[in-house]
Structure 1
Amino acid sequence: MSELELLKRSLPQRFKKSPEEMLKALEEGRLEPMSMVSGFRVKKGLWGLEPGTVLTPEWLIPAFPRIPRLFVLKEGLRRNFTGPFYAEEKIEGYNVRLVRLSGKIVAITRRGYICPFATDRWPDFLDLEAFFDRYPHLMVCCEVAGPENPFLTEWPPYISRDIRFFVFDLLDLSTGCLLSPEKRYRLTEEFSFPAPEVHGPFSAHQWQEVAEILKRYDREGREGLVFKERQGQRVFKYVTPRSNLEDLRVSIAFAGDLHPAYYLHRIIRLALAHLELEERRDEELWRDFGQAVFPPLLSALKEVKRGGRITEQFRIRLRSKLAFENLLKHFAKTQVRIKILHQSWEDGYLVVTFSKEYPRSTDFWASKLSGAPEVD
C-alpha cells in the first residue's frame, strides 16, 4: 500500500484532505511513517493536529495534553477549582501511550515515536492483553520510571533498581476524552495496574492539607502532585522545591542543549514554592541551591578543560536482543549519540550499559574555556 493510500485510510472523516494536500504534507515532512505499525506520526502541527499525534487506520491517537502548571498553591487552587478534585503523585519518569494496533500492543512517546524499550518491557508490569480484549477503545497513559530507563537520570526515591510502570490516565479513543478519575481508579484496581498515589478528594479551601502532602513529598525527594477534577477534564500540576533542585542538578552540564528559560523557570518555581511551603530556612535554600548547581557544573567544566566530553551514563535491561536493536535505531533516528560500554545476559534479561554524548554542550563549554568572544 502506498503512503498516500495509507494516509487516506488513517485520516478521520473530519480531517479529510485532497490528495494534493496529503502529498504536500508528506513531502514537507510534517507527517512521518511509523516504525513497527502502519500509520503516521505528526511531526509538525497541521490541520489542527498537534505534534505527537499518531494517525492509523484504526485510531487517531491524540498527542499528550500539555498540563498547565500552578506556580503558587493556595491561589492557584482557589482560582482554578470550584468543585472537588483529586491530588495524584506526579511521578518522575517519561510518558508513553499504550494502545493495541493491528493486534500488537505498542508504547508511543510524547513525540509520537514507538518506544522500543517500553514496548518490550510492559508485559513485566501490566496485564494489557486482558484489558484491551475488554476495552479495545481505551488508551493507557503510563509513566515509566526507575534508575534503569534509557532516557532520564531522575527517578522516584522508592525505586532502587530496574523500572516500574504507573498508569496515570485512561483515554477513550472513540471520543478523545479522558475517563474521570474515579472511573479510572475502578479500572486500575480491577486489572491490578500500578498507579500513582492518590489523595482526596479535596476542595480548594483545603489547600493547607495539600501543602502538607507536598512538604512530605519534598522531604522524601518526590516530584510533586497533579490535580484532577473529580468530574471534568481540568488538570493542573505543581512540583516540589526538591524536584526543581534535582532538575537543575542533572541538567546544568547540558546548558548547550537546553534553552536558558529551562533554568530560569525552575529557579522561579523554586523561589515561589520555598516562600509558600516554608519547608526550609532561607539559608538552607541557598546551601541546597549551591550544592545542586555548582558541583556538577564544575565537574563538567573540568572534564571539558582536560579534553573530555559531556556525557550521561545509563543502564537498562530488555527482554530481547531485537528490542535493543530497535532502540539503537530509535536513537539513530532521533540523532542521539550513544556508546555501548557493556552488555551481557543476566537472569533472562539483556543488560546494557551505555553513555549518551552531548556534542553541543561540549562545544558550548569548550568555546567558553577557549576565550572565544560572544555577544549577549
Structure 2
Amino acid sequence: MNGEVDEESSLVDINETAIFLNLSKAKVRKLIERNILRNNWGQYTNLIRFTKKVSHIEEGSVLNYSDANLEIIRGFPKIRRCLLLEPALKKNFSSVDEVAVEEKMNGYNVRAAQINGDIIAFTRGGLVCPYTTEKVNELIDPTFFEDYPNLILCAEMVGPDNPYVAKTCYDVNSLDFFVFDIREKNSGEPYPVKKRRETLEAYKIKQVNLFGYFKPKDAHKEITKIINEIGSEEREGVVVKDPEMILQPMKYTTSNSNCKDLEFGFKFYNDIGRDYLFSRVIREGFQAAEWNENNQKLKDRCYRVGSSILYPMVNTINSVGKNKKVTEDAQIKVTRLEVLDLFKQHLNRSGIEVHFEEPIPEEDGYIVKMKKLNKSTNDKTESIWLGDYW
C-alpha cells in the first residue's frame, strides 16, 4: 500500500489563517509548502491538520474551515513521564495541596468534537478515523455536544475490538470510550478534574477511574500500591494531575505494561524504533531502584524483562524461517459495511498494510478480523535466513 498522498491545500485561506493563529502569512505559506498543513481525506477536506508542532500549536491540531468562524481543535499535549515517583512529585507538585490520581488506560487516544453539527473522532495525528467516529456516535449521549458545542472530549478507546491496541484486561465487551480530559476549542484550556467528572456524570459518559486525591508528600506510597495492584491485572498505569489542571500532569506505568510493550516491540524488532524499546528498559531500571527491590524481586524483574525481549523475537525468527509471515492480529466490529470500506481507505492512505478477512455477521453488526503486516521485520528476518549480514 502506498503512503499518504499529497493533498491539495487550496482550502487554506492564508490571510485568515495567519490572523487566527497569530502567525505571519509567509509562515503559513511555508507550512503549506512543507505539507505541515494538510487536508483530511474524503468528505473532510475542510479539516486541515498539523502534521508537526508549530510554535504554540500542537501536532495533531485541526483547523475547521466550514463554519462561518474559523476554529481549531487543539492537539492533545504530550504528558511527561515520571521515572522516580517521590522526587518527581516533590519537584513538580509541591505547590498544590493535593494531587488527583487517575487511571492511564491502554488503548488509543482520540478527541471527539462537534464539527458543523456532526460528532467526529480525531486520532492523535489529527486524522478523522471513520471506525472511531462510528463508535463514538454509538457510545456517547449526543445531547452533550448540543449543550457544549465548544468542548472537546479527550478519551481512550479500549477493548478487544480495537484495530490499534487490542486489550482484554478491561471490563469491555467490544470497544468503549473513556474520557480523561475535557478541553475548550481554540484555547485548549482544560476543565478542572472535579468539574469534568461532574459534567460527564450528568450525561452518563464513561471516564477513566479516579483512584483518589492524595497529599503530594504521601502520594508516592499510595501510587506504588495502586501500580502493584493494577499491574497484577495487566493494566497500564496512572496519570497524576493537579486537580485544577494548572500544573502539567505526569504519567507512570506498571512493569507489566513496560514488558508487554517490549514483547510487542521485539516481535517486530525491525519496525519499532530503538528509542521505543530502550526507554522501556530504562523505566524498569528506575522503578526497581526506587522500590529498593530485594535480590529475589530484582531477579524476577530481570527474568520478566529478558523474557519479554527474547521469547517474542525468537518466535519471530523461527516463524519467518518456516516461511510464515509475522503479523499483528486484531479485529473490529462495525454496524455497517460502509464503515469498513471507509476504514480500509483510511489505513491505505496512512500507509498501513492490512489484510482483512471476510466479515462475520452478528445480530448487531459484523466482526472483521485483520492482520497488519510489519514488512521491515519480515523482510529483514527473511534476508538473514538467506545469508545476509546484519
* TM-score, normalising length: structure 1: 0.92
Structure 2 CA distance for aligned equivalents of residues 11 and 348 of structure 1: 47
The residue that corresponds to 1:197 in the other structure is: 209
User: Pick from 358, 381, 386: which aligns with 1:365?
Assistant: 381
Name whichever of 140-149 and 3-12 sits farther off: 3-12
The residue that corresponds to 2:119 in the other structure is: 105
2:346 pairs with 1:330:
yes
Q: CA deviation at 1:345?
A: 2.0
The residue that corresponds to 2:5 in the other structure is: none
User: Pick from 58, 64, 70: which aligns with 1:50?
Assistant: 58
2:85 pairs with 1:85:
no
2:338 pairs with 1:343:
no
Q: CA deviation at 1:21?
A: 5.4
1:1-376 correspondence to structure 2 within 5 Å: 3-8=9-14, 13-15=20-22, 17-18=24-25, 22-35=28-41, 36-37=43-44, 38-46=46-54, 48-57=56-65, 58-82=70-94, 83=96, 84-127=98-141, 129-153=142-166, 155=167, 157-159=169-171, 161-206=173-218, 207-231=220-244, 232-277=246-291, 278=293, 281-374=297-390
Q: CA deviation at 1:192?
A: 1.0
- 1:231-261 Cα shifts (integer Å, max 9, x gaps): 2242000001111011111221111111212
Contact 2:269/2:313 (<8 A) preserved: no
SS in 1 for 2:290: helix
The alignment of Structure 1 onto Structure 2 pairs a total of residues equal to 370
Change in CA separation of 1:234 and 1:249 when aligned onto 2, cut-off 3 Å:
same
SS in 2 for 1:87: strand
Contact 1:180/1:233 (<8 A) preserved: no
Name whichever of 157-166 and 198-207 sits farther off: 157-166
Structure 1 CA distance for aligned equivalents of residues 278 and 290 of structure 2: 19
Change in CA separation of 1:7 and 1:319 when aligned onto 2, cut-off 3 Å:
farther
Change in CA separation of 1:25 and 1:272 when aligned onto 2, cut-off 3 Å:
closer
Contact 2:354/2:373 (<8 A) preserved: yes
Amino acid at match of 1:151: Y
- 1:1-54 Cα shifts (integer Å, max 9, x gaps): x94354345565243543x65454334322211133322111234454332111
Amino acid at match of 1:282: L
Contact 1:314/1:354 (<8 A) preserved: yes
Structure 1 CA distance for aligned equivalents of residues 359 and 334 of structure 2: 11
Amino acid at match of 2:140: L
Q: CA deviation at 1:274?
A: 2.7
Gaps of 5+ in 1: none
Change in CA separation of 1:12 and 1:53 when aligned onto 2, cut-off 3 Å:
farther
Q: CA deviation at 1:314?
A: 1.1
SS in 2 for 1:177: coil
Change in CA separation of 1:341 and 1:77 when aligned onto 2, cut-off 3 Å:
same
Structure 1 CA distance for aligned equivalents of residues 341 and 282 of structure 2: 41
Amino acid at match of 2:40: M
Structure 2 CA distance for aligned equivalents of residues 184 and 61 of structure 1: 18
Gaps of 5+ in 2: 1-7
Structure 2 CA distance for aligned equivalents of residues 321 and 10 of structure 1: 37
Change in CA separation of 1:183 and 1:247 when aligned onto 2, cut-off 3 Å:
same
Name whichever of 301-310 and 94-103 sits farther off: 301-310
Structure 2 CA distance for aligned equivalents of residues 292 and 144 of structure 1: 25
The residue that corresponds to 2:4 in the other structure is: none
SS in 2 for 1:285: helix
SS in 2 for 1:64: coil
Amino acid at match of 1:211: T
